[in-house]
């Protein structure tokens, strides 16, 4: 909108999640990474909270973040793995559009996986996705079906799912119904 006046809107930064993660969620997600053939490390990640090296099949999560943020980051990295971003977005490290779509998907998957366990990760996930989508809702619609199907594939099992999540949008409704909210 070139005719809009006034000060630019403030940039809303993702807020690192604090506190404990639901019992056994980290271990369950770590086992998911191992089943996918990935080694899991905790260590320095530069400015990132985590990364996945698809060629070496290694996931690394920052060692200096709270357990809840570390768990959300691991779910994000599993999103990259289970959504097959290495093959779907071969230009990931070169092209911002490809990387943006992969980041939108991975973070949305992490949000849904944590929601299954009763965790609200929106303080981190909503601004993160908004930044990578560049405010374009069509990028979110483009990702929706893959996000929902991939989040379903990272099954938590009854012991890790919250009571509300058992009947939530990724539990039983179609992707189209969940996206329409």
For the segment 115-154, what is each residue's pLDDT rounded down to a tens digit? Answer: 999 999 999 999 999 999 998 999 999 999 999 999 988 8
pLDDT at 174: 36
- If you search the block for the tokens 């990640």, which residue do you land on? 45
Say whether pLDDT at 172 is over 50. no
Contact 59, 94 (CB under 8 A): no
Give the pLDDT band (50/70/90) at residue 159: low
Give the pLDDT band (50/70/90) at residue 95: low
Distances (CA, A) of 29 to 100, 114, 137, 143, 179: 24, 11, 29, 22, 25
Copy the structure tokens of residue 15: 């807020």
Query: Taking the model in full, what pTM does it have?
Result: 0.82
For the segment 8-32, what is each residue's pLDDT rounded down to a tens digit? Answer: 656 789 999 999 999 899 999 999 9
Concatenated DSSP letters of 39-66: EEEES--TTSSEEEETTTTEEEE-SSS-
Which are the contacts of 117, defined by CB distance < 8 A and separation ≥ 6? 21, 22, 25, 156, 160, 161, 162, 165
Q: Which residue has the higher pLDDT, 163 or 127?
A: 127
Copy the structure tokens of residue 75: 């779910």
Give the pLDDT band (50/70/90) at residue 171: very low
For the segment 53-90, what is each residue's pLDDT rounded down to a tens digit? Answer: 999 999 999 999 999 999 999 999 999 999 999 999 88
pLDDT at 56: 96
Collapsing DSSP to helix, strand or coil, 72 comes out as helix
Say whether pLDDT at 102 is over 50. yes
Question: Rounded distance, CA 133 to CA 89, Å?
Answer: 16
Say whether pLDDT at 175 is over 90. no
């Amino acid at each position: 909108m070139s005719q809009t006046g006034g000060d630019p809107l403030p940039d809303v930064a993702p807020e690192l999640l604090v506190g404990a993660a639901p019992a056994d969620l980290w271990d369950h997600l770590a086992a998911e990474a191992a089943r996918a053939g990935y080694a899991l490390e905790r260590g320095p990640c530069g400015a990132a909270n985590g990364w996945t090296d698809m060629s070496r099949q290694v996931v690394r999560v920052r060692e200096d973040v709270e357990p809840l943020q570390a768990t959300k980051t691991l779910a994000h990295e599993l999103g990259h793995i289970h959504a097959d971003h290495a093959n779907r977005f071969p230009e990931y490290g070169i092209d911002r559009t490809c990387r943006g779509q992969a980041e939108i998907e991975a973070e949305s998957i992490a949000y849904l996986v944590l929601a299954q366990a009763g965790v609200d990760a929106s303080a981190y996930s909503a601004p993160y996705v908004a930044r990578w989508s560049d405010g374009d809702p069509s990028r979110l619609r483009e990702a929706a079906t893959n996000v929902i199907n991939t989040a379903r594939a990272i099954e938590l099992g009854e012991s890790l799912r919250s009571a509300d999540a058992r009947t939530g949008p990724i539990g039983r409704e179609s992707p189209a119904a969940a996206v329409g909210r």
